[in-house]
Amino acid sequence: MRRHPAFFLLLIPFALSVFAAGPSEPPFQAPVFPGRTGPEQARLALSNTFYLEISLGARELRICHSGVAIATYPLKSVTVGYPRLLWVPRHHLGEWIDDIWRDAHLDPAKVVQRLRIVPGDTSTTPTPEKPGVVPPTLSELTAVPQDYAIRCEDDRAVFLHLEGQVPGAVLQETADHPRWQDFLAALGFRESESIRVRATLSAEDGAAFFRSFPDGHPELLVLP
């Protein structure tokens, strides 16, 4: 189909406007999520939820959101535990690293002791002139145990031991000795973990992680 030359003249202003405007958007820099869990990391980055990462190689525990590690907690040591009977592993752990563990939650659960304000009672209220009674911080309202676990789906767990004196409020443990619990689990009297990662953190980092643990059962990426 032949077009009249005037038609091409009409196209000139359009072409000029395209050249004058330049590219409509600046070239974007797409983040790269390599490795086997890359697609899951990309999905989590877009999910607008918190998620956790444990990097076994870098020895770090991280709280992440939108592809950003917003808090990082260094691990002093990391080991992996396997259930055994007469020193023989009850099952072969196989390949378990570079995977996503779902439904992560704290054991014991985090409890914030909230204060109730008495309406009209201004005797403790601070003003710019007088200090009043300074309310406790969230560190003082959230008790942290010396040992706790992040439990996930399929009986997978990360056991965390805090080295040193826990800052702020401390949760006194009343449960049986862990060794005794493991013994009962091996005999089938208690639930046992299929994979147990055991890590040690400083008391400051471990307590900070416990108190900042995101609500809503986040997902945990176990990275090599």
What residues numbered 47-76 form the site for another protein, per CB under 8 A? 48, 50, 56-57, 63, 65-68, 70-71
Measured between alpha carbons, how far is 20 from 14 in angstroms, rounded to an integer? 10
The two beta strands, 99-101 and 105-107, are unpaired
CB 135 within 8 A of CB 203: no
The DSSP annotation for 57-73 comes to: TTTEEEEEETTEEEEEE
Q: Does 89 engage in binding with another protein (CB under 8 A)?
A: yes
Q: Judged by CB under 8 A, which of 2, 22, 94, 123 binds another protein?
A: 94
Cα–Cα distance list, 197 to 10, 179, 207 (Å):
70, 16, 18
Q: Does 169 engage in binding with another protein (CB under 8 A)?
A: no
Of 43 and 105, CB closest to another protein: 43
**Nearest distance in Å: CB 37, another protein:** 6
Per-residue mark of binding to another protein, 95-114 (x: CB under 8 A): xxxxxx-----------x-x
Q: Does 212 engage in binding with another protein (CB under 8 A)?
A: yes
Q: Does 182 engage in binding with another protein (CB under 8 A)?
A: yes
Q: Judged by CB under 8 A, which of 2, 22, 119, 177 binds another protein?
A: 119
What residues numbered 8-37 form the site for another protein, per CB under 8 A? 28-31, 36-37
**Nearest distance in Å: CB 14, another protein:** 26
For the four alpha carbons of 51, 40, 69 and 65, in that order, the dihedral sign comes to negative
**How many residues bind to another protein according to rule CB under 8 A?**
78
List Cβ neighbours of 84 (8 Å cut-off, separation of 6 or more).
Answer: 90, 186
Q: Does 116 engage in binding with another protein (CB under 8 A)?
A: yes
Q: Judged by CB under 8 A, which of 20, 24, 115, 123 binds another protein?
A: 115
Measured between alpha carbons, how far is 198 from 149 in angstroms, rounded to an integer? 9
Measured between alpha carbons, how far is 157 from 149 in angstroms, rounded to an integer? 7
Measured between alpha carbons, how far is 61 from 131 in angstroms, rounded to an integer? 38
Q: Judged by CB under 8 A, which of 141, 169, 170, 171 binds another protein?
A: 141
